[in-house]
Amino acid sequence: QVQLVESGGGLVQPGGSLRLSCTISGTASRIIFSINALGWYRQAPGKQRDLVASIGSDGTTNYADSVKGRFTISRDYAKNTLYLQMNSLKPEDTAVYYCNWAKGLFASWGQGTQVTVSS
């Protein structure tokens, strides 16, 4: 009933920046977007998918220690869009990035967007 579409990934050198976007659409998507805590997840090859940043309906944000101080999560209620600003990127940030609810039963996963940090 809802669709999550990630975009904005790419190849960047260490120390560079990227801004990821996640658009949420479908039945009741505006309501879901407004009430759910949202998050960005990433999955590197051979590793599990982990939550790296989340934002609550009240704007409260949380970050994994590995990205704290470098990544910023935000949401645009008018556009039903979730963002992840990634600065000072490191090779270990290389992964496929996904958006979804930060807690509870996940929506169907999108394709994700590939972020590759390499010199």
Three-state DSSP at 112 gives coil
Q: State the pLDDT at residue 89.
A: 98
Rg, Å, the chain Cα set: 13
Residue ranges of alpha helices (H) inside the chain are 29-35
Residue 1 CB burial class (10 angstroms; 0-12, 13-18, ≥19) = exposed
Of 20, 15, 36, the closest CA to residue 96 belongs to 20
Of 15, 56, 40, the closest CA to residue 95 belongs to 40
Show pLDDT as tens, one digit a residue, over the chain (119 residues): 789 999 999 999 999 999 999 999 998 888 888 888 999 999 999 999 999 999 998 999 999 999 999 999 999 999 999 999 999 999 999 999 999 999 888 899 999 999 999 99
